[in-house]
Structure 1
């Protein structure tokens, strides 16, 4: 694979008339020649509005081909800042202001509250106008100021391509700047892990304001000269129709999406047979072992679980495509160096449990304007992920929990991931999420939110008895809440922190 280091170089990987961006609903594809021309035209249009390399452009666009092409095209000569379209006005105001955005791109005719937030802050609005005749994702830009960019032209390896906020839990969200070199390194790593070729096509169901969709689905595909078929977003009722019509070779998703797809797989067995995939990828949260096995059995292809985070431009580890794959483990280092560090900052030998640390070309150089966070995040050149884990005898990484999510029950540390895995093994359980419940004497107690399989029944006592056969007593959930659906964040990720408060639980 060519060692491209900028998005402009990345776009050179595809043959001119090959499909780069595809879309559902029968739209013609945008070729690589078309996408390269679009990127050049977009950078020129931004430069004419006084926007160049290093200038930040907030983007509020619905999922689909225009969001994919806008990300790639704007990043070619400026800094992209994709925002969740479902934010409310005050949230847009905070993020646009915090990013110091020089402009906001919105879809023409879309009355998003981001417009009002930008107006209040004095940030000019540029409208993206889809070009129906130009292929999936083709667009022009309208409006905005005129001016001369301080740093015009195409971005270099060290220019910041993408800025994202970390998902804040209690503290103010931190800004993560990712350079052209960072995001292209991650795209190369993913392409190599998945053995992507120009013959591949990814069906993207991930939101494109999220690192998972942007890098794993879009950039890794384009970097391999392959195509990405953009959907309006995840829709369980349309997923199998899209598979049948678009014939992708793979898709990537978070575990909650995979589990929803499984519930509809049996009635779509004929489509799975006539539209076979090459593999399936899962990332952004831990995939329960039974779900991994079910997906492999139902689709008849490997399920590749990967481990990623925003600060690493997504991918850090991955189970190998050709095997062996270990359910419940996030795989081998797949790009950056990965190690385990003890509390004193020393790298531990294989088998030791400590904090997962990384370093490499895809890792951010540091949070923006946050020396305190950077001092905590970096030790001896290693970035501290905040995850606890260990390497097994084969070099596979096993995560034992987020350090801030570990449940401290009277001094006993409980890994939510371990308890999740045991509860998920019960045949009546479709989903399980273990979380901390405030406790007057112990500080925290173990709780679990559980979704049952359709038509199955299970009592709290029965599930606790099942767990007690596999877990030490202090790890067995003292409270089990059965829910029709476990609360999720904007990207579909199950949220542990604050769940007890959301459910009104205390012990």
Structure 2
């Protein structure tokens, strides 16, 4: 039987009706994005300069002004080391305020940050760094003192010459993925579109959101879909490297939103048991395409039920995506979701099915949109195998209802 590609019309939903229009290339796009991520962040720094931007429990607390100034000093130090436009700067540091400073410093220098999870074994991390052909590495050594020594320092510098189509971030797929890890090129448009989509879909407020981000910052789900959207609305990113203090942090830091994976939430339940945290208004659970086939959906349902008891006033969201889609793509409100439901596409994400049963609503899920990466880094063979035109092959088999709702295939 022949392989068919069947497109599904872009659906509009009350909670994800973002303003996108079809471009000349047929892809839905946002029409009023800033030219680059750094410009968007620069605007927010000036709008919310005295607000807390990042809080590390047990570590630094930085306002937007302080964060931007320290990042620009790191950018200046990178410039003095010969780093500039288009160079790759690997960031391999533990989660904390200094990770954020290093990441932003690399951006402001005009370089392309390469996200390397600090938990990767050295051999795998070195493979990623070598594949990215990194020109510099921010790794921080092994102690807080070493982190301070490791971050470059120079005269404040900001490179603001980037454009929407330029490479802004190299993010690597999970080492457990069937083709991974592979470097995914994310452009300024990809990042800005993902930010706009998350802000619009989750209706993030600009009155001082405090988001406890428990997702890995070295992954698209943590960096692109939580850290950056929180900054985009002038909110505070709260980071708790020590899981033992999370319950205390939720109260002491007046947390409004919590973001994690189902696995992380499951691990926290014993610590949170018996608590009732009415202040938290959003609970966001991030799922990845590589984890879909192995997911224990009955366990996920149990975790969601427990979270509803702990956060009774919170709206629960599940956001599903891939590194290649900037970590987003589908979303569902868990208030009334069936176990097999992945969600509706949101932002400018469009869906198609691939395979002999595509016309009947069953097949491999394909995605395209302004958040979808153009290619893999220095890997035309994998790019050719995973992209059909602008359509990205997720590798996951699903069914799509007539109204655009995506469900897991029974085979998965």
Task: Identify the TM-score tier after normalising by the shorter chain.
Answer: 0.7 to 0.9
Aligned length: 365
Aligned with residue 306 of structure 1, among 319, 323, 326: 319
TM-score normalized by the length of structure 2: 0.79
- Are the structure 2 counterparts of residues 223 and 172 from structure 1 closer, same or farther at C-alpha, using a change threshold of 3 Å? closer
Say which SS state the counterpart of residue 241 (structure 2) adopts. Answer: coil
Q: Report the CA distance shift for 1:154/1:21 in structure 2 as closer, same or farther (over 3 A).
A: farther
Q: Mark the runs of 5 or more structure 2 residues left unpaired by the alignment.
A: 1-17, 19-31, 289-294
User: Contact conserved, 1:255 with 1:282, CA < 8 A, in 2?
Assistant: yes
CA distance in 2, matches of 1:176, 1:380: 16
- Whole-angstrom distance in 2 between the partners of 1:128 and 1:43: 16
- Secondary structure of 2:398's counterpart equals strand
1:268 aligns with 2:275: yes
- Change in Cα spacing, 1:158 to 1:381, as seen in structure 2 (3 Å) is closer
> C-alpha separation between the residues in 2 aligned to 1:91 and 1:374?
21
Tell me the secondary structure at the aligned position of residue 319 of structure 1: strand
Which residue does the alignment assign to 1:210? 219
> Larger C-alpha radius of gyration, 1 or 2?
1
Is the CA contact (8 Å cut-off) linking 2:329 and 2:346 kept in structure 1? yes
Per-residue deviation, 1:170: 5.5
Q: CA deviation at 1:152?
A: 6.0
Secondary structure, in 3 states, of the residue corresponding to 1:314? coil
Deviation of the 1:154 alpha carbon: 4.6
Q: 1:7 maps to what in 2?
A: 37
Give the conservation status (yes or no) of the 8 Å contact 2:78–2:84.
Answer: yes
Structure 1 segments of 4 or more deviating over 6 A? none
1:101-140 maps to which residues of 2 (within 5 A)?
101-107=134-140, 110=143, 128-129=147-148
Q: How does 1:60-459 map to 2 (within 5 A)?
A: 60-76=92-108, 77-107=110-140, 110=143, 128-129=147-148, 141=152, 154-168=161-175, 169=177, 171=179, 173-198=181-206, 199-232=208-241, 235=243, 237-269=244-276, 272-273=277-278, 276-285=279-288, 288-300=300-312, 301-320=314-333, 325-343=337-355, 348=358, 352-400=361-409, 415-416=411-412
Q: Distance in 1 between matches of 2:332 and 2:153?
A: 45
Distance 1:68 1:84, change over 3 A: same
Contact 1:47 1:152 in 2 (8 A): no
Bigger drift between 242-251 and 84-93 goes to: 84-93
- Structure 1 residue 336 displacement after superposition: 3.2
Asked whether the 8 Å contact 1:340–1:390 carries over to 2, the reply is no
Distance 1:282 1:210, change over 3 A: same
1:340 to 1:92, Cα distance in 2 relative to 1, 3 A: closer
Instruction: Give the CA RMSD over aligned residues.
Output: 3.0
Structure 1 portions without partners, runs of 5+: 112-126, 131-138, 144-148, 401-413, 417-507
- Greater RCO structure (CA 8 Å; 6+ sep): 2
The answer (yes or no) to whether the contact 1:5–1:185 under 8 Å persists in 2 is no
Task: Note the alpha carbon deviations across 1:185-204, whole angstroms, 9 max, x for none.
Answer: 11111111111122211101
**1:212 Cα offset (Å):** 1.3
Q: CA deviation at 1:376?
A: 1.7
**8 Å contact kept, 2:77–2:152:** yes
Per the TM alignment, residue 326 of structure 1 is displaced from its structure 2 partner at its CA by: 4.6
Instruction: Kindly indicate whether the alpha-carbon contact (under 8 Å) linking 1:21 and 1:229 is maintained by their aligned counterparts in 2.
Output: yes
State the shift of 1:371 in Å. 2.2
Is 379-388 or 286-295 further displaced after alignment? 286-295
